[in-house]
Structure 1
Amino acid sequence: MYRILIVDNEPYVVDWIAALLEAQIDREIDVCRAYTAAEALEWLTRSRTDIVISDICMPRMSGLELAGQVKVRWPYARVILITAYAQFDYAVTAIQNNVAGYILKTQGDDVIVSEVERVMAMIDAELNQRSFGGPAADIQSALPELRSQFMRMLLEQEPEDTDKVNAQLESLKISMDADTPVRILLGAVWEWESLEDLVVRRQLAAKMIGQMNACLGDCGSLYPVDLGGSRMACLIGSLPGPANVPASDGGQAIKGAQESALLQGRLETLQDACAAGGVCHISFILYPQPVFLRDLHEAYRSLEAQMNRMTLEKDVFVILGKAEKVKRTVDPEVISRRLRLFLEEDRFDKFLEALSYYQALARDRRIDTGDCYNIYYSIALLMNSYLENRQLPRTDQIRQMSAVLFDPPYAGQWTEKFEMLIGFSEAVFSTESELKAGISRNTVEAVKRYVREHISEDISLTRLSEVTGYNTCYLSRIFRAQTGETLTEYIGKKKMDRIRDLMRDPDLNIGEIAEKTGFLSRTYFNRFVRKYTGMSPKNYQLSLVSINSLTERHSPSII
Structure 2
Amino acid sequence: MSINMYRLLIVDDEPIIVNGLVDFFSQQEKWPLEVYGAYSGEEAMQLLLHMRFDIVITDIGMPEMDGLQLQKKVLSQWPRCKIIFLTGYNDFEYVQEALRHKGVDYVLKTEGDEAIVRAVELAIEYTREEVRKDQLMLQADRQLRLAVPALQKELLRNLVLGDYVSISRLSEQFNELMIPLHANQKVLMVLARIDTYKPNYSVYDRGLLAYAIQNVASEYLQDSVHMLSVEMEVSRMLWFIQPKPSEESGSEAGFMDEGNDERWVQSASFIQGNLESIQQTCKELLEVPISFVIESNPVSWTEAGQLYEKYNKMLSQGLGMGTELLLTSHSTLPESLPCPFQAGKLKKKLELLKLQLDGGQKEAFDSMYADMMKEVAQYKDEPRIRQEIYYSLVPIFLACMNRHMIYDFGPQLDISKLTHMESHSSWEAVTAYFHGLASAIFARTQVGLQLEEHAVVQKVHQYIHDHLDGDVSLVRIGEAVGHNSKYLSRVYKKITGEDLSHYIAQTKLSKAQALLKETQMKIYEVSAAVGFLAEPYFYRFFRKAAGITPQEYRDLHKVDKR
Report the CA distance between 1:144 and its aligned residue: 1.6
Structure 2 match to 1:526: 539
Give the counterpart letter for 2:460 in structure 1.
Answer: V
CA distance in 2, matches of 1:431, 1:116: 51
* CA shift digits 1:155-202 (9 cap, x unpaired): 3x3335455663755553437787642110112334646561344433
CA contact (8 A) 1:183 1:291 kept: yes
Please name the residue that 2:44 is paired with. Answer: none
Residue 148 of structure 1 aligns with an amino acid whose one-letter code is K
C-alpha distance in 1 between matches for 2:495 and 2:127: 28
Taking a change above 3 Å as real, the CA distance of residues 426 and 471 of structure 1, as seen in their structure-2 partners, is same
- What RMSD, in angstroms, separates the aligned Cα atoms of the two structures? 4.4
CA distance in 2, matches of 1:335, 1:153: 11
Change over 3 Å in CA distance of 1:128–1:382 after alignment to 2? farther
Task: Give distance in 1, aligned partners of 2:153 and 2:386.
Answer: 29
| 1:292 and 2:300 aligned | yes
Task: Give 2:230's aligned residue.
Answer: 225
Aligned residue in 2 for 1:158: 162
In structure 2, C-alpha distance between the alignment counterparts of 1:390 and 1:124, rounded to whole Å? 46
1:429 counterpart = 2:442: yes
Equivalent position amino acid for 1:441 in 2: H
SS in structure 2 at match of 1:434: helix
TM-score, structure 2 length as denominator? 0.65
Distance in 2 of aligned mates of 1:433 and 1:191:
47
In 1, the alpha carbon distance for the partners of 2:271 and 2:399 equals 47
Distance in 1 of aligned mates of 2:359 and 2:303: 29
Residue 270 of structure 2 is matched in structure 1 by: 262
- Inter-partner Cα distance in structure 2 for 1:381 and 1:529: 60
Give the direction of change, closer, same or farther, for the CA distance of 1:392–1:449 in structure 2 (3 Å limit).
Answer: farther
Paired AA for residue 240 in structure 2: L
Unaligned 5+ runs, structure 1? 1-83, 93-106, 553-559
Question: Are 1:260 and 1:320, in contact at CA under 8 Å, matched by a contact in 2?
Answer: no
What letter matches 1:390 in structure 2?
H
Report the CA distance shift for 1:499/1:109 in structure 2 as closer, same or farther (over 3 A): farther
Q: SS state of the match for residue 297, structure 2?
A: coil
Cα deviation code 1:119-172 (max 9, x no counterpart): 699579748965x873423312222222223323333x3335455663755553
Other structure's SS at 2:365 match: helix
Q: Which residues in structure 2 correspond to 1:494-509 (within 5 Å)?
A: 494-504=507-517, 509=522
Match of 1:486 in 2: 499
What fraction of aligned residue pairs are identical, expressed as a percent? Answer: 20
The structure-2 alpha-carbon separation of the partners of 1:479 and 1:116, relative to structure 1 and needing over 3 Å to count, comes to farther
Tell me which residue corresponds to 1:349: 363
Q: Equivalent residue for 2:69?
A: none
Partner Cα distance (2:168, 2:224) in 1: 28
The Cα of 1:495 is off from its aligned counterpart by 1.2
CA distance in structure 2 between the aligned counterparts of 1:527 and 1:480, rounded to whole angstroms: 26
1:45-70 Cα shifts (integer Å, max 9, x gaps): xxxxxxxxxxxxxxxxxxxxxxxxxx
In the alignment, the residues of structure 1 paired with residue 223 and residue 535 of structure 2 have an alpha-carbon distance, to the nearest angstrom, of: 79
Higher relative contact order (CA 8 A, sep 6+): 1
- Show the counterpart of 1:86: 27
Q: In the alignment, which of 391, 394, 404 is matched to residue 390 of structure 1? A: 404
Give the counterpart letter for 2:371 in structure 1: Y
Letter in 1 for 2:163: P
Matches within 5 A, 1:71-470: 86=27, 88=29, 115=121, 122=128, 126=132, 134-155=139-160, 157-161=161-165, 166=170, 169=174, 171-174=176-179, 180-190=185-195, 192=197, 194=199, 196-237=201-242, 240=245, 244=257, 252=261, 256-271=264-279, 274=282, 281-308=289-316, 309-315=318-324, 317=326, 319=328, 321-323=330-332, 328=341, 330=343, 335-343=349-357, 345-365=359-379, 368-392=382-406, 394=408, 396=410, 400-408=413-421, 413-452=426-465, 455=468, 459-461=472-474, 464-465=477-478, 468-470=481-483
C-alpha distance 354-87 of structure 1, shift in aligned 2 (>3 A): closer
Distance 2:130 2:509 in 1: 33
Task: Note closer, same or farther for the CA distance 1:423–1:238 as it changes in structure 2 (3 Å cut).
Answer: farther
> In 2, distance between residues paired with 1:411 and 1:482?
41
| CA offset digits 1:197-225 (Å, max 9, x no partner) | 34443333333322323332244431201
The alpha-carbon deviation at position 423 of structure 1 amounts to 2.4
Could you state the TM-score of these two structures normalised by the residue count of structure 1? 0.66
Q: In the alignment, what sits opposite 1:13?
A: none
The answer on whether the counterparts of 2:191 and 2:311 sit within 8 Å (CA) in structure 1 is yes
Q: CA deviation at 1:285?
A: 1.9
**What do the CA deviations read for 1:287-310 (whole angstroms, capped 9, x no partner)?**
121112222121112122223443
**Which is worse superposed, 195-204 or 380-389?**
195-204
Match of 1:517 among 510, 520, 530: 530
- Distance, in Å, in 2 between the alignment partners of 1:356 and 1:425 is 12
1:171–1:514: structure 2 CA closer, same or farther, 3 Å change rule? same
Moved more, 162-171 or 206-215: 162-171
1:200/1:440 Cα in 2 relative to 1: closer, same or farther (>3 Å)?
Answer: closer
Q: Distance in 1 between matches of 2:142 and 2:434?
A: 46
5+ residue gaps, structure 2: 1-24, 34-112, 247-254
**Letter paired with 2:296:** P
Deviation at 1:276, TM superposition (A): 6.3
Q: Kindly indicate whether the alpha-carbon contact (under 8 Å) linking 2:409 and 2:415 is maintained by their aligned counterparts in 1.
A: no
